[in-house]
Amino acid sequence: MAEASGQPHVVVTFSPNRWSSRHFDLLIDNTGNATAYDIKVYFSPPLQNGEARRTDAKIPFEAVSVLKPGHGLRSYLSDYAPLKGKSFEVTISWLRSQSDKKREENSYNLSMADHDGVSWLGNEPAVDMTRHLKSMEKSLIQIAQGREHLKVDIYSALDRSYEKRMIARERRRWKRSQEQRQQAETQQVMTEISDADSAP
Protein backbone atom coordinates (compact mmCIF):
# COMPACT_ATOMS: atom_id res chain seq x y z
CA MET A 1 0.00 0.00 0.00
CA ALA A 2 2.81 2.43 0.89
CA GLU A 3 4.59 1.62 -2.36
CA ALA A 4 1.42 2.22 -4.38
CA SER A 5 0.76 5.59 -2.77
CA GLY A 6 4.35 6.85 -3.01
CA GLN A 7 4.65 7.33 -6.75
CA PRO A 8 5.55 10.17 -9.09
CA HIS A 9 2.92 11.34 -11.55
CA VAL A 10 4.07 13.82 -14.19
CA VAL A 11 1.71 15.86 -16.37
CA VAL A 12 2.26 18.51 -19.02
CA THR A 13 -0.37 21.19 -19.68
CA PHE A 14 -0.93 24.52 -21.41
CA SER A 15 -1.86 27.61 -19.43
CA PRO A 16 -2.51 31.24 -20.45
CA ASN A 17 0.47 33.46 -19.73
CA ARG A 18 -0.10 35.65 -16.67
CA TRP A 19 0.99 38.75 -18.59
CA SER A 20 -1.12 38.16 -21.69
CA SER A 21 -4.12 35.86 -21.99
CA ARG A 22 -3.58 35.39 -25.74
CA HIS A 23 -0.19 33.77 -25.13
CA PHE A 24 0.34 30.32 -23.66
CA ASP A 25 2.92 28.75 -21.37
CA LEU A 26 3.96 25.12 -21.23
CA LEU A 27 3.88 23.60 -17.74
CA ILE A 28 5.29 20.35 -16.43
CA ASP A 29 4.28 19.29 -12.92
CA ASN A 30 4.88 16.33 -10.67
CA THR A 31 1.46 15.87 -9.06
CA GLY A 32 2.51 12.65 -7.34
CA ASN A 33 4.14 12.25 -3.94
CA ALA A 34 7.54 10.91 -4.97
CA THR A 35 10.41 12.34 -7.00
CA ALA A 36 10.55 11.64 -10.74
CA TYR A 37 13.90 11.25 -12.53
CA ASP A 38 15.01 11.37 -16.16
CA ILE A 39 11.68 12.68 -17.46
CA LYS A 40 11.04 12.51 -21.21
CA VAL A 41 8.13 14.30 -22.91
CA TYR A 42 6.81 13.62 -26.42
CA PHE A 43 4.11 15.49 -28.33
CA SER A 44 2.30 14.25 -31.42
CA PRO A 45 2.12 16.32 -33.54
CA PRO A 46 5.33 18.03 -32.37
CA LEU A 47 5.05 21.41 -30.68
CA GLN A 48 6.22 24.52 -32.50
CA ASN A 49 7.76 27.66 -31.07
CA GLY A 50 5.71 30.83 -31.10
CA GLU A 51 6.49 34.30 -32.41
CA ALA A 52 8.54 35.35 -29.37
CA ARG A 53 10.87 32.34 -29.64
CA ARG A 54 13.36 31.44 -32.35
CA THR A 55 12.04 28.81 -34.74
CA ASP A 56 15.14 26.71 -34.10
CA ALA A 57 14.90 27.03 -30.31
CA LYS A 58 14.52 23.81 -28.35
CA ILE A 59 11.00 23.06 -27.14
CA PRO A 60 10.95 23.39 -23.34
CA PHE A 61 10.86 20.36 -21.04
CA GLU A 62 11.44 17.64 -23.64
CA ALA A 63 13.91 16.27 -21.09
CA VAL A 64 13.94 17.09 -17.37
CA SER A 65 16.49 15.49 -15.07
CA VAL A 66 14.53 15.59 -11.81
CA LEU A 67 11.22 16.91 -10.50
CA LYS A 68 10.28 16.80 -6.83
CA PRO A 69 6.70 16.03 -5.74
CA GLY A 70 4.47 19.09 -5.81
CA HIS A 71 6.97 20.99 -7.95
CA GLY A 72 6.80 22.12 -11.55
CA LEU A 73 8.43 24.17 -14.29
CA ARG A 74 6.89 26.81 -16.53
CA SER A 75 8.02 28.36 -19.81
CA TYR A 76 6.50 30.59 -22.46
CA LEU A 77 5.69 28.60 -25.60
CA SER A 78 3.56 30.41 -28.15
CA ASP A 79 0.79 32.84 -28.93
CA TYR A 80 -2.69 31.36 -29.25
CA ALA A 81 -3.01 31.34 -33.06
CA PRO A 82 -0.62 28.42 -33.82
CA LEU A 83 -2.23 26.32 -31.07
CA LYS A 84 -5.89 27.12 -31.77
CA GLY A 85 -8.03 24.08 -32.48
CA LYS A 86 -5.17 21.61 -32.10
CA SER A 87 -5.10 18.42 -30.10
CA PHE A 88 -1.91 16.68 -28.99
CA GLU A 89 -1.14 13.15 -27.90
CA VAL A 90 1.21 13.54 -24.94
CA THR A 91 3.47 10.77 -23.72
CA ILE A 92 5.54 11.29 -20.59
CA SER A 93 7.91 8.73 -19.13
CA TRP A 94 10.15 8.79 -16.07
CA LEU A 95 12.15 6.72 -13.62
CA ARG A 96 11.28 6.33 -9.95
CA SER A 97 14.99 6.31 -9.13
CA GLN A 98 18.23 6.73 -11.04
CA SER A 99 18.98 3.04 -10.58
CA ASP A 100 15.66 1.86 -12.06
CA LYS A 101 15.65 0.41 -15.55
CA LYS A 102 11.90 0.26 -16.02
CA ARG A 103 10.31 3.53 -17.09
CA GLU A 104 6.85 4.53 -15.94
CA GLU A 105 4.59 6.21 -18.47
CA ASN A 106 1.62 8.54 -18.65
CA SER A 107 -0.21 9.11 -21.96
CA TYR A 108 -3.22 11.31 -22.64
CA ASN A 109 -4.84 13.71 -25.09
CA LEU A 110 -4.25 17.44 -24.54
CA SER A 111 -6.74 19.59 -26.44
CA MET A 112 -6.68 23.35 -26.91
CA ALA A 113 -10.48 23.17 -27.05
CA ASP A 114 -10.29 23.26 -23.24
CA HIS A 115 -9.55 26.98 -23.57
CA ASP A 116 -12.30 27.88 -26.05
CA GLY A 117 -14.72 30.47 -24.71
CA VAL A 118 -12.55 31.32 -21.71
CA SER A 119 -12.61 35.00 -20.75
CA TRP A 120 -10.67 37.09 -18.24
CA LEU A 121 -11.76 39.90 -15.97
CA GLY A 122 -8.77 42.10 -15.14
CA ASN A 123 -5.30 40.88 -14.26
CA GLU A 124 -3.78 39.02 -11.35
CA PRO A 125 -3.12 41.41 -8.42
CA ALA A 126 0.59 40.59 -8.57
CA VAL A 127 0.71 41.58 -12.24
CA ASP A 128 -1.09 44.87 -11.58
CA MET A 129 1.25 45.62 -8.68
CA THR A 130 4.31 44.95 -10.84
CA ARG A 131 3.04 47.27 -13.55
CA HIS A 132 2.36 50.02 -11.01
CA LEU A 133 5.87 49.62 -9.58
CA LYS A 134 7.37 49.87 -13.06
CA SER A 135 5.39 53.05 -13.67
CA MET A 136 6.62 54.49 -10.37
CA GLU A 137 10.20 53.55 -11.23
CA LYS A 138 9.92 55.31 -14.59
CA SER A 139 8.54 58.45 -12.92
CA LEU A 140 11.32 58.47 -10.32
CA ILE A 141 13.97 58.14 -13.04
CA GLN A 142 12.50 61.14 -14.86
CA ILE A 143 12.48 63.15 -11.62
CA ALA A 144 16.09 62.19 -10.88
CA GLN A 145 17.10 63.29 -14.38
CA GLY A 146 15.31 66.62 -13.94
CA ARG A 147 12.75 66.00 -16.68
CA GLU A 148 9.88 66.11 -14.18
CA HIS A 149 9.34 67.95 -10.93
CA LEU A 150 7.80 66.62 -7.77
CA LYS A 151 5.29 68.76 -5.90
CA VAL A 152 5.70 68.30 -2.16
CA ASP A 153 3.38 69.62 0.54
CA ILE A 154 5.67 70.19 3.54
CA TYR A 155 4.21 70.33 7.05
CA SER A 156 6.70 72.55 8.88
CA ALA A 157 7.16 73.90 12.42
CA LEU A 158 5.34 77.06 11.34
CA ASP A 159 2.38 74.94 10.29
CA ARG A 160 2.35 73.20 13.66
CA SER A 161 2.53 76.55 15.48
CA TYR A 162 -0.33 77.93 13.40
CA GLU A 163 -2.40 74.81 14.06
CA LYS A 164 -1.82 75.14 17.82
CA ARG A 165 -2.94 78.78 17.73
CA MET A 166 -6.09 77.85 15.84
CA ILE A 167 -6.89 75.10 18.35
CA ALA A 168 -6.32 77.48 21.28
CA ARG A 169 -8.55 80.10 19.64
CA GLU A 170 -11.35 77.58 19.13
CA ARG A 171 -11.06 76.49 22.75
CA ARG A 172 -11.37 80.10 23.95
CA ARG A 173 -14.42 80.63 21.75
CA TRP A 174 -16.02 77.46 23.06
CA LYS A 175 -15.26 78.46 26.66
CA ARG A 176 -16.78 81.93 26.16
CA SER A 177 -19.89 80.46 24.57
CA GLN A 178 -20.27 78.06 27.50
CA GLU A 179 -19.88 80.91 30.02
CA GLN A 180 -22.40 83.06 28.13
CA ARG A 181 -24.91 80.24 28.02
CA GLN A 182 -24.44 79.56 31.72
CA GLN A 183 -24.91 83.26 32.53
CA ALA A 184 -28.07 83.36 30.40
CA GLU A 185 -29.47 80.31 32.16
CA THR A 186 -28.64 81.80 35.58
CA GLN A 187 -30.27 85.10 34.62
CA GLN A 188 -33.39 83.29 33.46
CA VAL A 189 -33.63 81.39 36.74
CA MET A 190 -33.21 84.60 38.75
CA THR A 191 -35.91 86.29 36.69
CA GLU A 192 -38.31 83.43 37.27
CA ILE A 193 -37.64 83.54 41.04
CA SER A 194 -38.15 87.31 41.10
CA ASP A 195 -41.41 87.02 39.19
CA ALA A 196 -42.61 84.34 41.60
CA ASP A 197 -41.79 86.50 44.66
CA SER A 198 -43.62 89.54 43.28
CA ALA A 199 -46.74 87.63 42.40
CA PRO A 200 -49.80 88.43 44.72
Task: List 94's β-bridge partners, or say none.
Answer: 104
**Length of the chain measured in residues:** 200
pLDDT in tens, 91-135: 999 999 988 889 999 999 999 888 776 665 656 666 567 666 777
Mean pLDDT of 159-188: 88
Indicate the pTM of the whole model.
Answer: 0.58
Residue type (1 letter), 35: T
Say which CATH architecture domain 2-115 belongs to. Sandwich (2.60)
Kindly list the domain boundaries of the chain, sorted by start residue.
2-115
Kindly state the percentage of the chain with pLDDT values over 70: 84
Distances from the Cα of 183 to the Cα of 49, 177, 192, angstroms: 91, 10, 14
- Residues 74, 114: Cα–Cα separation, whole Å: 19
Total H helices, total E strands in the chain: 3, 7
Predicted confidence at residue 123, as pLDDT, reads 61
- Residues 42, 62: Cα–Cα separation, whole Å: 7
- Residues 83, 23: Cα–Cα separation, whole Å: 10
